[in-house]
Amino acid sequence: MFGAVAALVLGADVVKTEGLDFSLLDPKPFAIASFVLLPGIAAFTIAVVLERLLVVEPWSRRSLTVVLALATLVLNVFLVVIAVVAGAAVALRRMPLVARAVNGIGRITVPIALAMLATLAGIDLWRDATEIL
């Protein structure tokens, strides 16, 4: 689902009628498909890699800890947000009743929100793509 949403949202953001890319690139269907599929494939790959890594506790190995620490330095702008989310995740893990409630709500609201976002982006992408073609 993450790959499909990323393909639609980023594709809708890039594929614009006023953009220079689509007046210069030919064939136009291939250019549009490339700008939609590449972010989708990248997001799908990220999701698969993260799912594979989730079986390992992040701070259980020293080498993985070093890699994660370096990655947070690269994301310095978002370090505060990441720390708050990580703190909330640790706090929820210690409160099973609250964690179950949040998990139950998240299982319903997150897919609905992603579906709505993907639908709106898909409509925008469709309009721009048909105008370009």
Q: Give 40-60 pLDDT, tens digit per residue.
A: 898 898 888 888 877 767 667
Residue 113 clears pLDDT 80, i.e. is over it: yes
- Mean residue pLDDT of the chain comes to 79
pLDDT at residue 93, rounded to an integer:
73
CA distance 58 to 64: 7
Q: Give 12-46 pLDDT, tens digit per residue.
A: 888 887 777 777 777 888 888 888 888 889 889 88
pLDDT at residue 55, rounded to an integer:
75
pLDDT at residue 75, rounded to an integer:
65
Q: How many helices (H) and strands (E) does the chain have?
A: 6, 0
The residue type found at 113 is A
pLDDT at residue 36, rounded to an integer:
86
Sign of the alpha-carbon dihedral angle for 66, 67, 73, 75: negative
Calculate what percentage of the chain has a pLDDT beyond 90.
Answer: 0
What are the domain boundaries of the chain?
2-132
Whole-structure pTM value:
0.55
End-to-end CA distance of the chain: 27
Higher-pLDDT residue of 97 and 110 is: 110
In this structure, which long-range contacts are made by residues 112-119, counting pairs with CB atoms below 8 Å and at least 24 apart in sequence?
A: 114/1, 114/2, 114/5, 117/5, 117/9, 118/4, 118/5, 118/8, 118/9
User: Mean pLDDT throughout 56-65?
Assistant: 72
